[in-house]
């Protein structure tokens, strides 16, 4: 049986996107093994994650611009090849003479460049394969890997790190995926010629440099907030002390990044023919409302996705594999929400679907307020399944609505603008929420230890007790935040 063209292309694009998203999470559980193998300090190893994240953020704005000039299919194959090559080199880095942590970080930058381009390009390919009336179905294809990969990453990474193969295989696993995806997209996707007018126009290097540097500085500023200060890890603080908001470099980077993005916006408004990011898209009500609401949802929800793995591994003491299995219901719920949401979108419209999804997220946040220190995976299962469903119903309609009115050559740039800004707000959410949790845990630990001085030694599970209280406080704030987002969602268009 022959698969229809639109499904074949969208599935292939989703496969490539899955590889890029998986690389964001599969590495997290292997940092300790890398640190021991490479004899590196914690500051160096943290850059294995930070370098990939920054490289992704840098190239997302430019991906749509280059695809208009060189062709969407060519750019997608190029991005896959770069990501696959970067993965191979990352795995080989400990065997290269003179290598080590610095070489691994350099290869992670290469991997991140390819992976970052895959985000807007895969979205554009999947959306472009479907007619505008079926955009909800195409959005489902690219949303499933984005939500499933964070769940599968820790489990798969833990299995590989604990196996006889070791941590390099978390990178080698990308090789068959990348090669198969390149072969499939080369065979399946119809060739697309670059836009002639764009090819004749000169490259807008000023806009490219301003956008890439601005995004990188802003994203790194927020990433730096949650990075561990060297030499601060103790038994009472297994995560260590973070730089926090009082670190002068955070505000210097943030100020410089925002200044560059402001300069970029002013410059782009004077480039009528082929801007890097078409900011005029914000004139469209549906695009602007869906994009702004995506910023709020990503900042609120993606930050919470960071909390549970951190709590379960570093405080609850679960292994990487056990943590991944405990989080699996969230991925399954997201898959259910995306698949069912793609069908409900055309029936009830984006406004009501997003509101229902946000209500589910609010309820799940409220249930996590009562998290117990010794909570089991079974205790989390119904809550996380509901949370996954809520994010599937709340996230899919927003992406669909934002890009539903965009077609042809404008689609890659719209996808780049949507993904680049969403990436910035995702990093903001992770930084703010992780800072609240880590600093709250330290504060609660000091308070519990102070109360225990009058009765004897502090409890043995002091870090776990403090983390549970801090987690509860953070989810109170998230419950209030998602409740407020519901009010904003009421202003979305009622129909597609």
| Helices vs strands, H then E, count in the chain | 16, 0
In terms of average pLDDT, the best of 20-29, 236-245, 315-324, 478-487 is 478-487
pLDDT value of position 108 = 92
Q: Which residues contact 158 (CB under 8 A, 6 or more apart)?
A: 29, 319, 320, 321, 323, 324
Question: Are residue 26 and residue 123 in the same domain, yes or no?
Answer: yes
Regarding predicted confidence, which is higher, 470 or 279? 470
Question: Are residue 209 and residue 315 in the same domain, yes or no?
Answer: no
DSSP string spanning 174-242?
HHHHHHHHHHHHHHHSPP-PPPHHHHHSPP-HHHHHHHHHHHHHHHHHHHHHTSBPTT---SS-TT--B
Question: Are residue 216 and residue 133 in the same domain, yes or no?
Answer: no
**The model scores a pTM over 0.85:** no
Chain Cα centroid distance, residue 344: 25
Q: Would the pLDDT of 29 be above 70?
A: yes
Which pLDDT tens digit goes with each residue over 153-165? 777 887 888 788 8
Structural domain that includes position 267? 205-272
Question: Are residue 194 and residue 212 in the same domain, yes or no?
Answer: no
Q: Which residues contact 328 (CB under 8 A, 6 or more apart)?
A: 151, 155
pLDDT value of position 153 = 78
Task: Give the pair of three-digit tokens for residue 423.
Answer: 């990436």
The CATH number of whichever domain residue 55 belongs to comes to 1.20.1250.20
pLDDT value of position 40 = 75
Question: Are residue 147 and residue 247 in the same domain, yes or no?
Answer: no
Q: Would the pLDDT of 210 be above 80?
A: yes
Q: Would the pLDDT of 286 be above 60?
A: yes
Question: Are residue 251 and residue 166 in the same domain, yes or no?
Answer: no
Mean pLDDT for 425-438 is 82
Sign of CA dihedral 265, 271, 276, 282: positive
Q: Would the pLDDT of 323 be above 80?
A: no
Question: Are residue 196 and residue 149 in the same domain, yes or no?
Answer: yes
Q: Would the pLDDT of 114 be above 90?
A: yes
User: Average pLDDT, whole number, for the chain?
Assistant: 83
Question: Are residue 259 and residue 314 in the same domain, yes or no?
Answer: no
Question: Are residue 230 and residue 112 in the same domain, yes or no?
Answer: no
Which residue among 224, 254, 272 closes a domain? 272
The count of domains in the chain is 3
């Amino acid at each position: 049986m022959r698969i229809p063209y639109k499904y074949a292309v969208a599935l292939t694009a989703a496969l490539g996107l899955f590889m890029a998203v998986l690389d964001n999470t599969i590495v997290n559980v292997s940092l300790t093994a890398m640190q021991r193998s490479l004899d590196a300090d914690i500051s160096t190893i943290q850059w294995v994650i930070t370098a990939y994240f920054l490289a992704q953020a840098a190239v997302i704005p430019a991906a749509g611009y280059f695809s208009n000039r060189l062709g969407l299919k060519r750019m997608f194959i190029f991005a896959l090849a770069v990501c696959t090559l970067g993965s191979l080199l990352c795995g080989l880095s400990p065997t290269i003479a003179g290598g080590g942590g610095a070489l691994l970080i350099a290869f992670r930058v290469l991997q991140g460049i390819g992976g970052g381009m895959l985000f807007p390009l895969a979205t554009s390919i999947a959306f472009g394969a479907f007619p505008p009336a079926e955009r909800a179905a195409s959005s489902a294809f690219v949303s499933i890997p984005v939500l499933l990969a964070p769940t599968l990453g820790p489990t798969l990474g833990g299995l590989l790190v604990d196996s006889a193969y070791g941590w390099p295989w978390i990178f080698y696993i990308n090789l068959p995926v990348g090669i198969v995806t390149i072969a499939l997209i080369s065979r399946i996707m119809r060739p697309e010629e670059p836009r002639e007018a764009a090819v004749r126009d000169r490259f807008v290097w000023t806009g490219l440099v301003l956008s890439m540097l601005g995004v990188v500085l802003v994203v790194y500023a927020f990433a730096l907030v949650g990075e561990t200060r060297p030499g601060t890890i103790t038994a009472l603080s297994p995560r260590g002390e973070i730089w926090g908001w009082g670190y002068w470099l955070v505000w210097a980077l943030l100020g410089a990044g925002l200044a560059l993005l402001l300069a970029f916006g002013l410059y782009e408004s004077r480039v009528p023919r082929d801007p890097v990011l078409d900011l005029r898209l914000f004139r469209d009500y549906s695009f602007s409302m869906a994009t702004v609401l995506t910023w709020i949802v990503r900042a609120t929800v993606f930050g919470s996705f960071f909390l549970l793995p951190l709590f379960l591994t570093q405080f609850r003491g679960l292994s990487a594999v056990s943590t991944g299995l405990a989080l699996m219901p969230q991925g399954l719920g997201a898959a259910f929400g995306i698949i069912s949401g793609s069908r409900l979108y055309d029936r009830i419209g984006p406004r009501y679907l997003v509101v229902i999804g946000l209500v589910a997220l609010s309820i799940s946040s409220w249930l996590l307020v009562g998290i117990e220190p010794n909570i089991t995976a079974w205790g989390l299962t119904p809550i996380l399944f509901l949370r996954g469903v809520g994010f599937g119903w709340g996230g899919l309609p927003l992406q669909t609505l934002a890009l539903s009115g965009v077609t042809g050559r404008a689609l890659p740039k719209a996808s780049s603008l949507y993904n680049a800004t969403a990436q910035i707000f995702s990093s903001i959410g992770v930084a703010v929420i992780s800072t609240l949790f880590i600093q709250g845990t330290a504060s609660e630990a000091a308070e519990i230890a102070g109360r225990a001085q009058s009765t004897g030694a502090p409890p043995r599970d002091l870090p776990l007790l403090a983390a549970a209280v801090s987690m509860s406080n953070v989810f109170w704030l998230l419950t209030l935040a998602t409740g407020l987002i519901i009010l904003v969602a009421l202003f979305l268009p009622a129909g597609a």
